[in-house]
Structure formats: structure tokens, C-alpha cells
A and B are shown apart, each in its own frame.
Chain A
Amino acid sequence: MKQKTAIQEFLKGLWDENPVLVSLLGLCPTLAVTVSAINGLAMGLAATFVLLCSAFLVSLLRKVIPNQVRIAAYIVIIATFVTIADRFLAAFTPDISKALGPFIPLIIVNCIILGRMEAFASKNGIGRSLLDALGMGAGFTLTLLVLSSIREILGSGTWFGLQLMWPFYAAWKVMVLPPGAFLTLGCMIAAANWINTRRRS
């Protein structure tokens, strides 16, 4: 396989290997927290922070950590950064922390992060690992932002809490309920597949 350039390493996470739309990873937080745009954005940024910090450490320690206990070591590293993110959100943005509830601690078992550590950061240098983590984090955040924006606009008539639809807009309540998450995500994955198929042919 040809070595990717730095910019390609970053860009692949945004579309070609988008963690949610193509790899279908991390669907639990994707479906659960995207009831409003601010939640989606906060979740994406928190996951990106954890991805970046963990990728840095895992890549740095990749020759030190014995192969047999690598998963255990990754989990401890990831859990540490997740706890840092969780405590910071609780201390400085209590409202967002309250809205995201258990899903911030659950970043620990988010398969995007563990997957990138195992598949990439443990085999590549620090620079590449950071670019990969940044790309994946950005892809995750953007996907969550689009998904949560669609759900919030249709389901509540607002975007980032601002009234967007006309005053008597009858909100589609189903969009902020769990079925709305599945419907919207399904449509987004279908659209991504459709675009990719057309591009290939």
C-alpha cells in the first residue's frame, strides 16, 4: 500500500473512512446525544480531545507497552482522558454536562477511539497518529453536528437554541425521540453510500 501524504492522512477521516458514515463506529453516542446541535457539537469535541491525547500517548509508548497487555494499557490511557474531559465539562459547562449525562463517561468504550489506537496509533509515529486522530475526530464531530442540526431543526424548530422555523411551525416531535435518530442517521448513511457509488462509477 502506498504511504499516504500528511494531508490525506487527515482528510480520510472526514469522508473516505468517516467513522460514523462509512465504518459505522461509535453509533451509540451518535444516536443518543444528538437531540440538539449543542449536544452533538460538545460530544464530538469531547471525543476529539480524547482521541488526540490518547493517540499521542499510545503512539509515544507503542514500543514500551508489551503486546499482551496493550488493550488494558489503551483502556487506562483513554479512561484517564475521558475522566479529565468529564470533570472539566462538569466544572465549567455544567448544563452541557447534565444534558450529555452518562455518554461522556461512555466515550471510554467508544469503538472509534479504541479502534484508532489499535489500528493506527500503535503502529505509526506521533505526527501521523495525531493527524489521523484529528481527521477522525473532525469527521465524527461534523457528522454529529449535521445529524443533531437536522434533528433539532425539525424536532424543535430551533438551531443552537435559536428559533429558526416560523412561529407556528408544528415541530416533528419524533425527530428528537429515538426513532428520529435512526431515521436521520439511516438517511445520512444512504446519502453517503449513494454519493460514493456515483463517484466510483
Chain B
Amino acid sequence: MSNTPKIIIVLTLITLISGAVLALLDSYTRPKIDNYRKIQENQAIAEVLPENDRINEVAKDGYVFYEAYRKHELVGVAFQVSGGGYQSELVLMLGLSPDFSRIIGLKILSQVETPGLGTKIEKDESNKEDPGWFINQFKDLRTLPSISYVKNASPSRDTEIQAISGATVSSKAIVDILNTHIKKAKAARGIE
């Protein structure tokens, strides 16, 4: 009955070796994983901001703002926002004009919505000419007083987008995320 020491020794050794192996592995794969994330992020920033010659990173109140400059003039600000969708977390890269009154571009970084319905927020396979019609609606959209959506109709105001039929929750989620975060980010940057 005195195999307690053996139990302790064996389990300790197994966990120690396992920990060492994983630490080694992590030091090898982490740079690669971070590098990939950085490339994805830079691509997203480039997509949602206008032509610029310099990007300046500013962290404030939980946001990381990427300020785009052209000839020393601020032309746009991008930052990452996220929130709950229909069944997954939606992560977006949002590009705004310097005063936050107009969306320059919007890109979905990650979503795992219902295939064939909610996934249309990123790519609508049923629309052969323009699979990205939903997300492209946000281009040049006005943000004041707030963004809203309409169902089964063409938007009539410059703050409106058309929701995807069959995926209203996912469409609404994006609108809500944008409204909440634009307001919060404005406060963080001190814009009236």
C-alpha cells in the first residue's frame, strides 16, 4: 500500500516533461502565429483606410487606434471592434473619417455565423455579381445620429443599410456593434 511515493514521482515527472516540451514548442510556434495575426491585421487596416503614407498606432481606453496620415494630415482612423452575433463573436475592423462622422470601410475579421444565412454578412454566394454587397453598404455610410437598418427595402437615408433577409439578427448585430463602439471610441478620442 506504500506506492504513494511512486504515484507522486511518476505524475510529477510526466507533467514536468510535458510542460518542458510545450514551453519549447511555444517558443518555436508563437512568432509564426503572431506574425500571421499581424499580417492579417495590416491587410485589414489597409482595406478599411484610404491611401496613406504613414500609420500611427495609439492605444487609449482599451482601443488601439490606427491613425492614417497623408502628407502629415490625418485622413482616417481604424480600430478593431467586436460583439456578439447570432451564434458567434463578430470581430470587425472599422475605418472612420477623422471626425468619426463617416465610415470609410468595414471588414469582417472573424465570424462563425450560420452557414448560408448569417455568413452572408461576409460573402453572399447567392449574389454572383456582388458577393460582398452587405459589407460594402457600409462604405461611405454616415454615422450620425446613428446607423440603422431596413428590411426588404432599399435604404432611403444615408445612415441606413439593408438587412439580409433570413439573417436579421446577424445584420442587426453589426449595426449595434458599430453604434456602441463609435460612441465609446468618440469619447475615448475626445470628439464631440
Query: Looking at the complex, which one of A61, A69, A83, A176 makes contact with B22 (CB distance below 8 Å)?
Result: A83
B116 contacts the other chain (Cβ, under 8 Å)?
A: yes
Indicate if the CB atoms of B11 and A73 lie closer than 8 Å. Answer: yes
A68 touches B18 (CB 8 A): no
Do the beta carbons of B116 and A177 come within 8 Å of each other? yes
Selecting from A84-92, A111-119, A130-138, the interface stretch reads A84-92
Please indicate the chain B residues that have their CB under 8 angstroms from the CB of A162 in the complex: none
> Do residues B116 and A73 form an inter-chain contact, with CB atoms below 8 A?
no
| Contact B29 A91, beta carbon cutoff 8 Å | yes
Interface membership of A200, Cβ < 8 A:
no
- In the complex, the answer to whether A77 meets B114 with C-beta atoms within 8 Å is no
Using known A-B contacts A66-B6, A91-B32, determine if residue A73 contacts B112 with beta carbons closer than 8 Å: no
Contact A101 B10 (CB under 8 A): no
B62 close to chain A: CB less than 8 A: no
Number of interface residues of B (CB under 8 A): 22
Q: Mark A20-35, 1 if CB is under 8 A from B, else 0.
A: 0000000000000001
Contact B116 A80 (CB under 8 A): no
- Do A87 and B25 touch (CB < 8 A)? yes
**Inter-chain CB contacts under 8 Å: number:** 60
Please tell me if the beta carbons of A177 and B115 are within 8 angstroms of each other in the complex: yes
Closest to A99 in B: B112
- Is A177 in contact with B32, judged by CB distance below 8 angstroms? no
Task: Flag whether B21 is at the interface (Cβ < 8 A).
Answer: yes
Q: Is B7 an interface residue (CB 8 A)?
A: yes
Taking a contact as CB atoms under 8 Å apart, the answer to whether B29 and A73 are in contact is: no
Closest A-B pairs by Cβ, 5 of them: A91-B32, A91-B29, A173-B116, A80-B18, A87-B29
Can you report 18 A-B residue pairs in the complex whose CB atoms are below 8 A from each other? A35-B115, A61-B14, A65-B10, A68-B3, A76-B11, A76-B14, A76-B15, A84-B21, A87-B33, A91-B29, A91-B32, A91-B36, A94-B33, A98-B110, A101-B112, A171-B116, A173-B117, A176-B115
Residues of B within 8 A of A (CB): 3, 6-7, 10-11, 14-15, 18, 21-22, 25-26, 29, 32-33, 36, 110, 112, 114-117
